[in-house]
Structure 1
Amino acid sequence: MQDNNAWDDDRDDAAKQDFKPLSREQAQALRAKNPSVSPWRVIAVQVVVGGVVAALAWLLTQRMEVAWSSLYGTATVVLPGVLMARGMTSRLSGMSPVAGAAGFMVWEMVKIGVSVVMLMLANRIVQPLSWPALLVGLVICMKVYWVALLWRR
């Protein structure tokens, strides 16, 4: 029977020998090649896309309740996103990696909770409510995240 620990040690030594830290210039070039996407930019694009979807909903149906329902679906994505972006860009989240990870989990739970509450209140806030229009606005605004990841400088 072979001792697998020896194999792990050999692999660790090989990985340590292959690892070379980046120079300052290499790190800057890597950051320039892969820029991060601002959460505020994503939210701004979601607002614009939601407005366009609501306008198209009104143009296609000529019914204001469809447009308002679509806008409420947009708000169900945007408002919790604003809360999360505000929480994640605060000074407390950037203090340490542990604080950042914990902050992300907390703000993600807040975001989900607010979204669920908004959906539960939709029928009381938007009268009369068109669930299909609300869901179209919600889904299209959620898909803006993927577009933002693809749409980098």
Structure 2
Amino acid sequence: MGKAVSAEGGNRSDWDSDQDVVAEPDFKPLTREQAQALRGQLPPLLSPWRIVGVQAAMGLAVTLVWWAASSRAGVAGSALYGAAATVVPGALMARGMTRGLSGSSPGTAVLGFMLWEFVKIFVAVVMLVAAPRVVPDLSWPALLVTMVVCMKASWLALLWQRRSKKSA
């Protein structure tokens, strides 16, 4: 690559040519009314507590189904423990993420998210390891199926939010 000579007499590389410079549009701050109108167009934020609540409700519903379908008390207990193994770590993370981080920098928020995600995973693994000692007559299929249903319940919460926004 050759060097081009600038009007000032100095050398510059081909990368600095004026053809590649794109003019950025001027930044114009929004007025208060424009900002409020923009906020009105955005969907409301989904609370992490609502997701935890939906997970708990789904866990109880699945536990009732396991209880009705099985004659063993251990199956219903296993299903309830599976719901708890999803809801309790999720509640810990929701508490950690909603506790006073609103004014923090983006880097601190990302670090906080990673920390609470690690805590959530750690607590869930500890609860799963402890399951054979905690739940008498443990049924792994009931526990795991209930956990999966609880984890997927967050999508249900998102669909409900979307549906309520359309009806409003």
Structure (1 or 2) with the greater helix fraction = 1
Moved more, 25-34 or 78-87: 25-34
Q: Matches of 1:27 and 1:131 in 2, distance apart?
A: 51
Residue 134 of structure 1 aligns with an amino acid whose one-letter code is L
Does the CA contact (< 8 Å) of 1:87 and 1:93 recur in 2? no
> What TM-score do you get using the length of structure 2 for normalisation?
0.77
Q: Matches of 1:67 and 1:132 in 2, distance apart?
A: 11
Does the CA contact (< 8 Å) of 2:74 and 2:137 recur in 1? yes
Q: Matches of 1:69 and 1:31 in 2, distance apart?
A: 44
Alignment of 1:100-139 (within 5 A): 100-139=109-148
Matching residue of 2:160: 151
Structure 1: segments with no counterpart, 5+ residues: none
Does the CA contact (< 8 Å) of 2:66 and 2:75 recur in 1? yes
Give % identity: 55
Q: Matches of 1:8 and 1:73 in 2, distance apart?
A: 58
Does the CA contact (< 8 Å) of 1:53 and 1:70 recur in 2? yes
- Pairs aligned (count): 149
Does the CA contact (< 8 Å) of 1:93 and 1:103 recur in 2? no
Q: Secondary structure at the match of 1:62?
A: coil
> What TM-score do you get using the length of structure 1 for normalisation?
0.84
Corresponding residue to 1:41 among 42, 50, 56? 50
Residue 131 of structure 1 aligns with an amino acid whose one-letter code is W
From the CA coordinates, give the structure whose radius of gyration is larger: 2
| 1:44 CA drift (Å) | 1.1
Alignment of 1:57-136 (within 5 A): 57-92=66-101, 94-136=103-145
Q: CA RMSD in A?
A: 2.3
Q: Matches of 2:130 and 2:56 in 1, distance apart?
A: 21
Q: Deviations over 1:47-73 (max 9, x none)?
A: 111111000111111322111111111
